[in-house]
Amino acid sequence: MPDFEKYGGYILVGDRMRFFTGEATPKEVAAHPYLGQKKKQAEVGKHLPETRADVADWASVVPEPQLQAQRKAGYFLDLWHWRAHRSNPVGKSDDQVVAEARYGDEGKGPFFNNWDGDKKQPLLMLDPEKTGGKAALGWDDLAGGKLGFDDLYYLREDQAKPFDPKHAWKNGDTLPRRALRAGEGSRADISVHGLARWKDGYWDVTLVRRMDTGRPLDDKAFADSRVYTVGFSVHRDAFGSRWHYVSLPQRLGLSRRGDFRAARFSGAEPKWEQDWFTVTLFYPGQVSWPLLNSSRHAGAENIRKGIPVRLRHSEIQLAHYGIEMEFYDAIRRQWLYTLLAGVLLIAGFGLALNLLLARKER
């Protein structure tokens, strides 16, 4: 994935992405013969540039045989998505893939919607026989932050039973929107080692997966002595979607030099004696791959030449650019107002000067 090695997650941000200004509407996406009608996508999400005939047109998906050939050739990204609530209580990370769209791997993920659309009610409730008498969570406990890691703050499939609308529900009873499960198949390949916990302002999370899962269309296989390009993304303050912090691409060496290096170990887990490697994250704003390749971006020529972003920009520069693009319309409007005010000021000054000179000539 040479473009990912050079530009990281920027290459995934295509035309009219969800939650961007001017995002494609659900109706437009649903009408698309491949993304909407066949793949049941509801929005334009992350995708790779070469899955589109025109990177500036989200709908220009290349023919399906070409997509299949790309996937077999390894033109996809392996996305490990650990979630503090939707996967951590069952000791899992979601395993996904990004190609012409963002998909879950084959199998079942660690969560599903706890809603019966036909009956307009939850699918599951807590099973009191398995939860110490609880049929639901308490809203006051949740909203007041009174629950800890050792408390029941989630709805797990193996601790639940079908929802009973005739149960003696009381005010404040709360059922989570997501029900959790261990998952199955390729999508359940990544597990949490030990206990992932929040403490002293940090999450301490260790994820484990086989070096080679045997699923070449879903996962990247790892081999010792190779170097891999990875990127990091973190959501905070309960925000989702594009409101996250990202890193520039980093080189991970397996028993080789890279930006940081992984070493073999024996036993159940490493001794964690290596120095920490710190990755700087920044907010990218509404910066898309089509924008970066257009005349609006002064560095578009450098991208055409294949010059990596790390040779041209620091994280702080990219953060500033991201904020500028986030408020581009407001900044441009203010700039036009300022320009107009400046022109009027100069014109008024010139008019006043002419009137003054004319008065002196009299």
- For the segment 241-254, the average pLDDT, to the nearest whole number, is 94
- pLDDT computed for residue 306 by the predictor: 96
- pLDDT computed for residue 157 by the predictor: 97
- pLDDT computed for residue 361 by the predictor: 67
- For the segment 205-227, the average pLDDT, to the nearest whole number, is 96
**Pairwise pLDDT comparison (327 vs 96), residue with the higher score:** 96
**Domain residue ranges in the chain:** 2-75+223-326, 111-180, 329-362
Tens digit of each residue's pLDDT (9 = 90 or more) over 111-164: 999 999 999 999 999 999 999 999 999 999 999 999 999 999 999 999 999 999
**Pairwise pLDDT comparison (357 vs 92), residue with the higher score:** 92
Tens digit of each residue's pLDDT (9 = 90 or more) over 307-340: 999 999 999 999 999 999 888 888 888 888 899 9
Q: Is the pLDDT of residue 275 over 90?
A: no
- pLDDT computed for residue 109 by the predictor: 96
Binned at pLDDT 50, 70 and 90, residue 189 comes out as very high
Binned at pLDDT 50, 70 and 90, residue 362 comes out as low
Q: What is the pTM of this model?
A: 0.88
**3-state SS track over the chain:** CHHHHHHHHHHHCCCCCCCCCCCCCHHHHHHCCCCCCCCCCCCCCCCCHHHECCCCCCCCECCHHHHHHHHHCCCCEEEEECCCCCCHHHCECEEEEECCCEEECCCECCEEECCECCCCECCEEECCCCCCCCCCEEHHHHHCCCCCCCCCCCCEHHHEEECCCCCCCCCCEECCCEEECCCEHHHHCCEECCCCEEECCEEECCEECCCCCCCCCCCCCCCCCCEEEECCEECCCCCCCCCCEECCCEEEEECCCCCEEECCCCCCCCCCCCCCCCCCCECCCCCCHHHHCCCCCCCHHHHHCCCCHHHCCCHHHHHHHHHHHHCHHHHHHHHHHHHHHHHHHHHHHHHHHHHHHHHHHC
Q: What is the rounded average pLDDT for all residues in the chain?
A: 94
